[in-house]
Structure 1
Amino acid sequence: MAVRSVSGYVDDAVATRLQHVARVEGRTPASLVGQALGLYVSLPEAARTSLRRIEALGTAQEQDHLRGEIVRLLLRLDMDLTERRMAEELGSKLPRVRNEEEAAEAALAWERTGGS
């Protein structure tokens, strides 16, 4: 994938947070900016407009609520991803059962082998 350099300006508080997050995550500030911009430009125009309106007109509480909702959604989707990957990994190791009786037998067999 070809990459291009872009530039922009941020206030000192954002620059300081950017440096801190980059250091904590072991990434470059440029990679964080690229990721953030990639997400922003991938949003539909209506979402970008709403974000700008909330940033410009929203109260501090409304802006905190927006960040909280974004965090909640990201964590939920990450959990869904984790559950799906676990199911895929474990699925091939689990016995195929057709009914509750076979499930009970499989559970007893698993218990006898110490869960391995």
Structure 2
Amino acid sequence: MAGRSVSGYVDEHVADRLQAVAKTEGRTPASLVGQALSLYVSLPETARTSLRRMETLATPEERDWFRGELVRLLLRADMTLTQRRMADELRDALPPADDEEAIADAALAWERAVES
């Protein structure tokens, strides 16, 4: 899908940080800006209002706390996705739950695979 160019202004610190993050991730600054804007505009108005209030009213310590909470939430969501994907991958590799011998054989095979 073709995109559309938009422009905006940021202070020098944000521009420098954007360049550094883009370089570290091997992406373009435009792709990072696009991803950030997609997230922002997908939020409901109440969340966007809260973000704006955080920018203007919160102390630096409160903003640090908020960033920490956001990181924890994102990591928790990522872990949930990882667990779901692992369960999907393992589901077909596991023997039926009522076949004790097959379960023991699979456990031994996995153990040997790890040891080698």
**TM-score w.r.t. length of structure 2:** 0.89
Query: What are structure 1's unaligned runs of at least 5 residues?
Result: none
Aligned pairs, number: 112
Q: Deviations over 1:50-84 (max 9, x none)?
A: 11001100011110111111100111111111110
Aligned partner (choices 94, 104, 110) of residue 106 of structure 2: 110
Paired position in structure 2 for 1:54: 54
* Distance (Å, rounded) in 2 between the aligned partners of 1:24 and 1:64: 22
* Distance (Å, rounded) in 2 between the aligned partners of 1:15 and 1:34: 14
Aligned ranges 1:68-79 → 2 under 5 Å? 68-79=68-79
**Identical pairs, percent:** 64
Q: Is the 8 A contact 2:97 2:103 kept in 1?
A: no
Distance 1:111 1:47, change over 3 A: closer
Paired position in structure 1 for 2:84: 84
Paired position in structure 1 for 2:19: 19
Query: What are structure 2's unaligned runs of at least 5 residues?
Result: none
Q: Deviations over 1:6-48 (max 9, x none)?
A: 0000000000000000000000000000000000000000100
Give 1:88's aligned amino acid: D
* Distance (Å, rounded) in 2 between the aligned partners of 1:84 and 1:54: 33
Paired position in structure 2 for 1:67: 67
Q: Is the 8 A contact 2:40 2:48 kept in 1?
A: yes
Kindly indicate whether residue 91 of structure 2 is the aligned counterpart of residue 95 of structure 1: no
